[in-house]
Structure 1
Amino acid sequence: MNDETMLMTWFAPAERAPESELVLQAQYFAEWNSLRAILDAVPDVVMVLNRHRQLVYCNEALLRLLQIEHRSSLIGLRPGEVLQCVHSVETVGGCGTTEFCRACGGTRAIVNSQQGQRTVEECCVLVQAGGAVEALDLRVWASPLDYRDEPFTIFTIVDIRDEKRRAALEQVFFHDVLNLVGALQGAMHLMALRVSEADTTSLDRIRDIVRYLAEEIKAQRDLMSAENNQYVIEPEVITSLQLLRELCVTYRQHYVAMGREIYLAPDAVDVELVTDVNLIRRVISNMLKNALEAIPVGEMVTLGCQMVGGQVQFWVQNPGVIPREVQLQLFQRSFSTKGARRGLGTYSMKLLSERYLQGTVTFISTAEMGTRFAATYPRTLQS
């Protein structure tokens, strides 16, 4: 409580505009036809709030969400009261004034917008729905708007429950599947101690397949983390030839290389890098796999490394030619020449290189030289 005339609050001011002010403000926006048309064309919920965080206008998306016909019943309410947040009735001041509101991303975003900052937040709101309490996961945007010499906030809400649930399921899935693969690898190690020498070749082949499976699962997990800006860079020291030799050994045993040759260029330079070895290995692995998949049995893929402008460039080349219509769509997330639900290879190469490794990925494909993909990186990854 700031003084005897003010309502008690734990966070945002509790005071509200008088009825006459609300009516006038609601009329401002009801008569602003161009803004109304724009807001009603937006599929997400949009509210216009006054300086007391009270709704003075909303778009049709909110009316559809609440299954009501007229805006008039919402004028003067705050966002939590509109959505029937369980905490909005705990104090006289309503939404934004309880202790819980201090942790609410929605209220924080609105308060920041009133200080001139465009803000994006996430918040989990517990709402009353049909006599039961339901949790809403929301992403909210709050942007300041000055109109008729008065401050307002454009407040936008998107339901991200599906996104949150998918992320949780993905995390559980990758954790559980990798645990199963780990258990399988442990069981195979015990089997290796007991099998005869004649059976070791078959067991080694199974062991390689399980290792490839584990690597593919981790690659998909890391790609999802990278897309969501959640991947944590871990720089290590490695030399370029060490990396290329490891990949040659690995992929000469891989099923995509059956009947095909992998050749390490003799003039490949050997330089030391400080980078995220896990990610750079994934990028070059994808280049190598794509090159092997693109050629017939009996052909050869060459990989190498050179210095370009003080940076390290890894390249992979095969004799094939990419059709022009395919070249125009490379690096798109869902495009693939390999059928439905494929197409993450070149996309992930570009995403990981540019967003995390401070590098670039390019390609050249002509009838004269074949196809060469190149990934160029700084020798030391900057924090």
Structure 2
Amino acid sequence: MANDPLPTKFLPAERATDEEVRRQHREIAALPLVHGFLDAMPNIVLMLNDHRQIVYANKAALDALGVGLDALLGKRTGEALHCVHAHEESDCGTSEFCTACGAANAVACALRGKPESLECRIQGEAPNQDLDLRIWATPFRHEGLSFTVFAAADISHEKRRRVLERIFFHDVLNTAGGVRTLAELMAESSPAEFLNLTKLLNRCSERLIDEILSQRDLAAAESGDFRLHLTGGSLQAFLETVVGLCAAHETAKERKIVLAPGVPADSIVTDQSLLMRVVGNMIKNALEAEPVGGVIGVGAEKIEGGRFAIWVRNPAVMPRKVQLQIFQRSFSTKGEGRGLGTYSIKLLTERFLGGKASFASQEGAGTEFRVTIPGSISAP
């Protein structure tokens, strides 16, 4: 039927016609003080109709988005902000991912007559288009029609700085926990075991120093002064070291980490410290998801283009609601200041190591986190 609603998993997909949008734009633009007041605002301000379409944009919005007003009229916010999910399902606001979107939820509240302010992370269509925003959505009525005043402030720098600091403490505590566990094991070990534990403790202590130096480098990245520390080494030896360190950590207690056979012995040139943080967090996340007695697998393979894929698998399946927000810096299933491992995996892999992070989680197959990295990267 022509009048059947369009498919959606969240907000209605229907849109006003182009003619309606332009008429609404003329009405809003003709209101006294609109131009002067909204254009004086330093943040992005959009006026949305009851179909969540843009009918007005202030100067800050046009400047930030680098387009003219005609290019925005009739679009929805996700389309204007280049959200990677804006064209899924029927339209922006209609996909399963949109149910966890701060912008979509704030606008939905405003359309019900309630002002709302929420944080929103938009995963952009390109790597440099990711945004962290504070959204304010306020209902506004004119001539019997409902509109939403949609204001957005970019908080990316603030969020990134805070998250990098939290990642640092998260990872340093993980490594320090490994040092403590090794020290406890040494106190109860036999002479034969003691020598092996001493070697592992030495590597773990060096890792702790690397974590601190790595945070220094990440802080430098915020000011544009970051420099990769590139070294070459066998991928097989690298994974053996990471698995050994993680096996000594408290999260591995009464759990088993199995390194799959066939890991390439090829030499890779990368920032070993950052890659160790990435793979270490993949392993620790998998360990935390498994009950006592659980087994997780770690492996790697050479793929096309001289690249390598490193994967970590565990039997547990993540709830769908969690899957929708994986890799978002503001999301954690573990409370404030924790659960940042997945975000750091994506941040470090894609921003600094020239790679790509992904995951899959489904019944019968369990959960796999995977990073693909080049066999060699060069300093920028």
TM superposition score normalised by structure 1: 0.48
Larger Rg: 1
Task: Select the structure with the greater relative contact order (CA < 8 A; seq sep ≥ 6).
Answer: 2
